[in-house]
Structure 1
Amino acid sequence: MLDPNFEAEAARRPHVGLCPVGVPDVPAPPASHGAGYRTLSGDADALLRALNSGEVQGLLILAPGRADGAFQLQLRAENRTPEGQRLLPVGPSVARATVPVPELVRALLDRQETAEVVSAAAPDGAGALFYGVLAGLDDYRDTPPVGLLRVPADASPDRIAAAAAACAQAMGRRLAPLPRQA
């Protein structure tokens, strides 16, 4: 039986932005997957605009990780470029991830994936992007969930997509539904 409210409820579902950096693009999920997500690209300013405009209510950056097969959730970002210079002349030296890390780890473990939480920030483009977004978040609004998931170097695009979808759903469960449209 078709649910007459399905489309209305789907429109109220929060969206998480996925930003692949150096990994395969992640296809959009079917509408039946709970919290939706969409793929984003661009620099920190473009990603902040998507968060601030309400286009997405959370952000998960996907980047290459180690070759040992484990997905890694990075807890913090450092104010440095891949060359070791300060990314922003003024700003904290470290910014902490705002995603619900334990829930994302649980979502990955539920998919039979190996997951770890890492504190050390890698000095690469994804780490610089992660810091730029965290440091640029507005102080006056509720902080949206922003995280960095490092994917195994040997992961297939399907495995990356499944892990990203699981993490997006875990993030979406913590987000309030969008307002009803009149």
Structure 2
Amino acid sequence: MDTGLRPDRRPAIAICAWDPTFTAWDPVEDLSGDPWNPVGARTLPVAGNASADAVAAELSALLASGECGALLLVGRTAHPGAFRLQMRAENRRMDGSDRLDHTGPGVVRATAPAAEIVRDLTDAGLNVIAASDAEEDAGSYILYRILNDLPDGPASPAIGLIRAPSDVPNAKVQTAVKTAASVIARHLAPLPRPNAA
């Protein structure tokens, strides 16, 4: 039966606040219950209310299945003063005691367009730095797991992690997340048209 509804061919970007106590990012802007979407893409909010391993596994599965073509992790930074776009993650267990993957690389780099995100956040009036140091928390752990699980190939999805300082108001966090997601969305291609039956 033809419902007359056209399929949504906008690519999806998953946005996940990995810490359930981090409530500054709210994907739903109004009473409609619909999540905010950047121009040319749709967001796929993913709750971070499970263990870091479970969140990493869920996000890796979404990327592997093609359900989303990009990912933005969102959380807090331990450093004061500026938003931090984390550019890499280290091969460490959650407790920092040992390597997470004994055959994996020591460091993996985020694939989101860092320079463009920093520029647009600055243009939006936010204080931001691109940080090479990985903070020792679930966000860095999840970022490493996802980047390390990516299959080899020329078309890596854009994956980034943005951290907000604890003293910034929620409105600035919303602006930062939306701006970063909008930059990533500009690089996503529309989904292919389905084959006619």
Which TM-score band (shorter chain)?
A: 0.7 to 0.9
**What's the C-alpha RMSD, in Å, of the aligned pairs?**
2.1
Q: Which amino acid aligns with 2:73?
A: I
CA spacing shift, 1:61–1:118, aligned 2, 3 Å: same
**Distance in structure 1 (CA, Å) of the matches to 2:118 and 2:139:** 20
Q: Which residue of 1 aligns with 2:11?
A: 14
SS at match of 1:12: coil
Deviation readout 1:30-65 (Å, 9 max, x if unpaired): 457443222113422211111111221101111211
Deviation readout 1:138-182 (Å, 9 max, x if unpaired): 114621011111111123333222211111110010111111345
Q: Which amino acid aligns with 2:45?
A: T
Q: How is 1:83-122 mapped onto 2 (pairs within 5 angstroms)? A: 83-84=95-96, 85-122=98-135
1:75 maps to which of 87, 105, 108: 87
Structure of greater Rg: 2
Deviation readout 1:93-116 (Å, 9 max, x if unpaired): 100111100111122112111110
Q: Which residue of 2 aligns with 1:3?
A: none
**Distance in structure 2 (CA, Å) of the matches to 1:32 and 1:121:** 27
Gaps of 5+ in 2: 29-34, 48-53
CA spacing shift, 1:19–1:124, aligned 2, 3 Å: same
Gaps of 5+ in 1: 1-6
Per the TM alignment, residue 127 of structure 1 is displaced from its structure 2 partner at its CA by: 0.5
1:56 maps to which of 61, 68, 87: 68
CA spacing shift, 1:31–1:86, aligned 2, 3 Å: closer
SS at match of 1:68: coil
Q: Which amino acid aligns with 2:136?
A: P
Percent sequence identity is 37
Q: Which amino acid aligns with 2:42?
A: G
Q: Which residue of 1 aligns with 2:144?
A: 131
Q: Which residue of 1 aligns with 2:26?
A: 26
**Distance in structure 2 (CA, Å) of the matches to 1:32 and 1:50:** 19
**Distance in structure 2 (CA, Å) of the matches to 1:124 and 1:31:** 28
Instruction: Give the aligned length.
Output: 175
SS at match of 2:8: helix
1:47 maps to which of 59, 75, 83: 59
